[in-house]
Structure 1
């Protein structure tokens, strides 16, 4: 194996990693264009617009490189450095302190928070819950789609057309009927020793 084989292999592997990362970022950016307050084809219009912007950006970049071929040297240098850094082996990577995994919220705690945001109503919109969370210093940088994904991961269903007090139009939300205590919590409460004399 020649001396250049290992660096060439590292750049090739890193190039694949950079390409995957760019594709994942582009796909995530396009997916964030989906509107949760609309349904059908209207909800997907944001995705189509973002995809068109990406295609337009690639086309404009190609035209600029064609007009200024020397720019290709800069782009190639940037890509090579990014690929080299992307394929760091564990021995070469700088040691970082192990970060604690974020605590997964308890379903009962989330249920209590939803009931608090709901008040006396039978339902609450996700945007109201998100605003309530952010007032308490949680969920910074989240949008309604992030909140929805976290609720559904905890088996708390969300509905696309929920009517809540103080709102003119229905939008995605949670209903009180879906927030029954979990069977485990009910069993715990029923088996707890009574303190009444």
Structure 2
């Protein structure tokens, strides 16, 4: 009986270790992919259009490909590097997979506002009564509040588009056309009580 119990404990322990490494590896992969994707996308020039604007991300992707090929050649020349890389990855995965589960106290907190609604509210605040606003102005407003300090305009654009907020590539303000958000687009995709048509207006149409 004791032998069976000990065997069961050993199996459970091995399963827990394997699960922790698997969870950590998945978390590391997701973080690395997201970081590299954001870094490549941040190379886009918002003051340019067409292929010139996409030249930065393309060059960064080429650089990443060159680094990957260099790592492959180094591993072929010195196979022991693979063992070193595997040990480093295993250690990082073990640490990443060791996060403690959040206690059951969190559901007691009030639910936060939906990210898209919060972003729209911020954009309406920066817009005021103007028809449009440049993303650079929105980013400056965010950074004054201590948010997005290491963001670029491209980072803000990607986040807004991921939330379904339309970004116009040619918003012209003070004679300068660049990426921005138009109040009319916000009203169309995220109508408020003030911007949504009343029943009288619908009937009249």
Corresponding residue for 2:57? 47
2:156 aligns with one of 142, 147, 152: 147
CA RMSD of aligned residues (A): 3.9
1:58 is the counterpart of 2:68:
yes
Report if the CA contact (8 A) 1:33-1:47 is conserved: yes
Question: Gaps spanning 5+ residues in structure 2: where?
Answer: 1-6, 197-205
Report if the CA contact (8 A) 2:41-2:154 is conserved: no
1:18 is the counterpart of 2:31:
no
- Report the structure, 1 or 2, having the larger helix content: 2
Report if the CA contact (8 A) 2:38-2:155 is conserved: no
Q: Which moved more, 1:73-82 or 1:35-44?
A: 35-44
State the shift of 1:152 in Å.
Answer: 5.3
In the comparison of the two structures, how many residue pairs are matched? 178
Corresponding residue for 2:124? 111
Corresponding residue for 1:194? none
Query: Superposed, which structure 2 residues align to 1:83-98 within 5 Å?
Result: 83-88=93-98, 93=100
Query: Superposed, which structure 2 residues align to 1:124-135 within 5 Å?
Result: 124-135=133-144
Report if the CA contact (8 A) 1:107-1:154 is conserved: no
2:179 aligns with one of 172, 192, 195: 172
Paired with 1:95 and 1:108, the residues of 2 have a C-alpha distance of 29
State the shift of 1:162 in Å.
Answer: 1.9
State the shift of 1:184 in Å.
Answer: 1.0
